Structure 1
Amino acid sequence: MKMLLLVNETDFQVQLSEFSFERRFDERGAIEWMQENWSKSFMFSALYAALVFGGQHHMKTRAKLNLRVPLVLWSLSLAVFSIIGAVRTGSYMFHILSSCGFKHSICDQSFYIGPVSKFWAYAFVLSKAPELGDTVFIVLRKQKLIFLHWYHHITVLLYSWYSYKDMVAGGGWFMTMNYSVHALMYSYYAARAAGLRVPRPFAVLITSAQIAQMGMGLTVSGLVYSWMQQGNCHSHLDNITWATLMYLSYLLLFSNFFYHTYVRCHAKTTKTD
């Protein structure tokens, strides 16, 4: 690895260690491609919805598939990807926080073009398309498909592509939090798919982390709006509005899921015992 210095538009220096593939990554080309093609996320979303609900109809009269090995490999691949992404973006965010403070970590746009983070920012938004494949296993295994699952997949894809093209403030927090939560979530899925017994508190921890992520997402969106008025936090009112609505809906849906899965269900079990 090679030690590099980045001087961003706010004249501070961040020293980070890059792998060669991260250093060679053309972030300007990536941003330009997304500016021209971000609307294709609507096509992916529409195709996803058609395949999901069409697939459910197709599977109604057919036996469910096992798919244990493919599911283990799929979940394990996404777990490894998310863990590495969380470590790399987390290292960049730590440098920003320790060097320039909390406000700068939210408002600075260097996350999209800085060492280390630039590659993983683009990898993050692109990964939201293949992540739609999660639902294929649910459909083919004839498991219950809840609204939260497919709604979350579609809206994250749309918002991620929509936001990356404008390099809006808050992206570093949004992406790093998502990488971190997914590192836990896909590791859990991989272990369960492999037949390992995972303690129930780990599942509770994951959903709690998701709820905390949504709360922090709302907080960051609110701060971006407030600091944008001062002219030093780049974003757009439309983006902040969509981010707020998205994170608020996630907060309500994940909280509802937590209550019905862990609180109400536990209360019923205790009462039965």
Structure 2
Amino acid sequence: MNYMEVTMPNYSYVFNFEEEFVHQDTRVWMTKNWKYGFYYVGIYMIFIFGGQHYMQSRPRFQLRGVLAVWNIALAAFSLMGACRTVPEFFHVLRNYGLYHSVCIPSFIEQDKVSGFWTWMFVLSKLPELGDTVFIVLRKQPLIFLHWYHHVTVLLYSWYSYTEYTASARWFIVMNYIVHSAMYTYYAIRASGRGVSIPRWVAMAITCAQLAQMVTGCAINIWAYQLLKAGDRDCHISDFNIKLSLSMYFSYFVLFARFFRKAYLERKSGGLKKCSSADMTAAASPGLAKVKGGE
């Protein structure tokens, strides 16, 4: 296929900051500064475990208002990211098919809107580490899935951007959509306005996360088969596929295990009752940070 003949999605409006986006400059920056991701992860790990030790003998912070604002901001960002990347995703699927969506990155098509929000997605993995700050300061349970997910997603996203991994189109769109619902759920619980959210909502978000992991594994397996069949035009490396598949499979196992423990295990006479903190954790990639919606 002649990639220069590929048409662009019909965006109703393009912002100036999107129009001025230059993907080559961001790739150069990420390539030169890839070590920063490991520095941030190191600081993050020191903070969460050092912070937990520091808070052991100290009263927990409430931070109800700050937490609500934080979740509203992340929900709004995720919703905006979804609105700007979904059109390109479905445009590609509808007009060029599954192969193109997995193997041809949007940057080849010079789609600045999708390119900008791909860049924002990668950068957002750094401030999202702030979710853990609330867990530590509020002395909430910090499960392995939480910090493992944050660390691996940040490092993988930064690495993949330097390669312009084409299959990331799938991962980014799925993540934006699920995070839109997830952070909206958190914002409502954190508002403390007495709003009662049905238990099935948390379960539905968890199921969406599980579906995300299954889809991620399927896309990676298919891309791997393409490479093994000798397809040299598929813009994804063998090493990247192995990293991504390992991550998605491990997430699926951890999510499935948590879902079973939180919702399906039976105690005397009925379903196990899980705490609100557990429900929050189950609905997200390890974000066990809000107990009782606080």
Matched, 1:159 2:133: no
TM-score, structure 2 as length reference: 0.86
Aligned to 2:190: 193
CA deviation map 1:112-148 (0-9, x unaligned): 7413101100000000000000000001000000000
Return the alpha-carbon distance in structure 1 between the equivalents of residues 152 and 54 of structure 2.
Answer: 25
Structure 2 vs 1, CA of residues 271 and 149 (structure 1 numbering), >3 Å: closer, same or farther?
Answer: closer
Is the CA contact (8 Å cut-off) linking 2:178 and 2:205 kept in structure 1?
A: yes
Report matched runs for 1:213-228 at 5 Å: 213-228=212-227
Which of 70, 92, 113 does residue 88 from structure 2 map onto?
92
Report matched runs for 1:3-18 at 5 Å: 9=3, 11-17=5-11, 18=14
Which of 64, 68, 71 does residue 72 from structure 1 map onto?
68
Return the alpha-carbon distance in structure 1 between the equivalents of residues 42 and 226 of structure 2.
Answer: 35
| SS of residue matched to 1:13 | coil
Return the alpha-carbon distance in structure 2 between the equivalents of residues 30 and 8 of structure 1.
Answer: 25
Is the CA contact (8 Å cut-off) linking 1:111 and 1:121 kept in structure 2?
A: no
Report matched runs for 1:1-273 at 5 Å: 9=3, 11-17=5-11, 18-110=14-106, 113-195=110-192, 196-228=195-227, 229-264=230-265, 270=270
Structure 2 vs 1, CA of residues 26 and 272 (structure 1 numbering), >3 Å: closer, same or farther?
Answer: closer
Q: Which amino acid aligns with 1:237?
A: D
Is the CA contact (8 Å cut-off) linking 1:16 and 1:116 kept in structure 2?
A: no
Return the alpha-carbon distance in structure 2 between the equivalents of residues 185 and 272 of structure 1.
Answer: 23
| SS of residue matched to 1:65 | coil
- How many residue pairs match? The answer is 266
| SS of residue matched to 1:57 | helix
Deviation for aligned residue 1:98: 1.1
CA deviation map 1:207-258 (0-9, x unaligned): 1010000111111111111223311211211111111110110000011111
Deviation for aligned residue 1:154: 0.3
Range with bigger deviation, 132-141 or 27-36: 27-36
Deviation for aligned residue 1:110: 1.6
Is the CA contact (8 Å cut-off) linking 2:264 and 2:271 kept in structure 1?
A: no
Q: Which amino acid aligns with 1:68?
A: R
Deviation for aligned residue 1:20: 2.0
Deviation for aligned residue 1:198: 1.3
Deviation for aligned residue 1:107: 0.9
| SS of residue matched to 1:16 | coil
Return the alpha-carbon distance in structure 2 between the equivalents of residues 42 and 172 of structure 1.
Answer: 24
Structure 2 vs 1, CA of residues 237 and 176 (structure 1 numbering), >3 Å: closer, same or farther?
Answer: same
Return the alpha-carbon distance in structure 2 between the equivalents of residues 118 and 8 of structure 1.
Answer: 20
Return the alpha-carbon distance in structure 2 between the equivalents of residues 19 and 8 of structure 1.
Answer: 28
Structure 2 vs 1, CA of residues 60 and 235 (structure 1 numbering), >3 Å: closer, same or farther?
Answer: same
Q: Which amino acid aligns with 2:55?
A: M
Deviation for aligned residue 1:268: 5.1
Deviation for aligned residue 1:80: 0.3
Unaligned runs of 5+ in 1: 1-6
Q: Which amino acid aligns with 2:191?
A: A
Unaligned runs of 5+ in 2: 274-294
- Percent same amino acid at aligned positions? 46
Deviation for aligned residue 1:271: 6.4
Return the alpha-carbon distance in structure 1 between the equivalents of residues 164 and 272 of structure 2.
Answer: 53
| SS of residue matched to 2:10 | strand
Is the CA contact (8 Å cut-off) linking 1:155 and 1:246 kept in structure 2?
A: yes
| SS of residue matched to 1:168 | coil
Deviation for aligned residue 1:169: 2.2
| SS of residue matched to 1:197 | coil
Return the alpha-carbon distance in structure 2 between the equivalents of residues 271 and 134 of structure 1.
Answer: 29
